[in-house]
Amino acid sequence: MFTSSRHTLLYHTLLLVHILGAMTFFAGVVLAGLVLVRARHATMASGVASILSLARIGVLLVAIGALVAGAFGLLLVWVGHYGFGSGWVVAAIVTYVGVVVLGGLGGAIPKRARLLATELGPVEVSQQLRDLLWDTRSRLYNDVAFVLMLVLIYLMVFKP
């Protein structure tokens, strides 16, 4: 597969950066999810706002990780001669897009909850805020995105 040690070094360097990007992506998803779970149990709107403000760090990690993992993943396909038409590569790209899109959709409502909580200030959590925190559609998007992320990890590790 590889023609020289220089090519092998390039491949392994790209792989390392790709894995670091994927770990950053996953860490951001987990952080954002844990923050949202914690915010659902807060009693004061200002507490919800404070807790959900930490989700911004998760979103930043997701954005950086997704960009790095995606870009270096595509480079690995090219350098590793896997071929962009390989079944697992196509499945991985489609799954990656699904994770990013569904994660974005799932994160929009918690963002609205953070903005509402900030606006409400130091009062008890309103029903409107609680409804945003427990929104069924948002939870579904996030849950499906998380499952797709696990599928993506499987595809990357086993290349079926």
Contacts for 91 with CB less than 8 Å, ≥ 6 apart: 155
Tell me, what's the pLDDT at 1? 46
- Give the count of beta carbons closer than 10 Å to the beta carbon of residue 96: 21
The pTM (predicted TM-score) of the whole model is: 0.88
Using CA atoms, how far apart are residues 83 and 79, in angstroms rounded to an integer? 9
For position 55, what pLDDT does the model report? 94
pLDDT tens-digit readout, 97-142: 999 999 999 999 999 999 999 999 999 999 999 999 999 999 999 9
Task: Give the total number of structural domains in the chain.
Answer: 1
pLDDT computed for residue 123 by the predictor: 96
Q: What is the percent of the chain where pLDDT is above 70?
A: 98
- pLDDT tens for the chain, 160 residues long, are 445 677 789 999 999 999 999 999 999 999 999 999 999 999 999 999 999 999 999 999 999 999 999 999 999 999 988 889 999 999 999 999 999 999 999 999 999 999 999 999 999 999 999 999 999 999 999 999 999 999 999 999 998 8
Do residues 129 and 48 touch, judged by C-beta distance below 8 A? yes
pLDDT value for 83: 87
Structural domain boundaries, residue 57: 5-158
Residue of 98, 82, 85, 105 whose CA lies nearest to 156: 82
pLDDT value at position 4?
Answer: 67
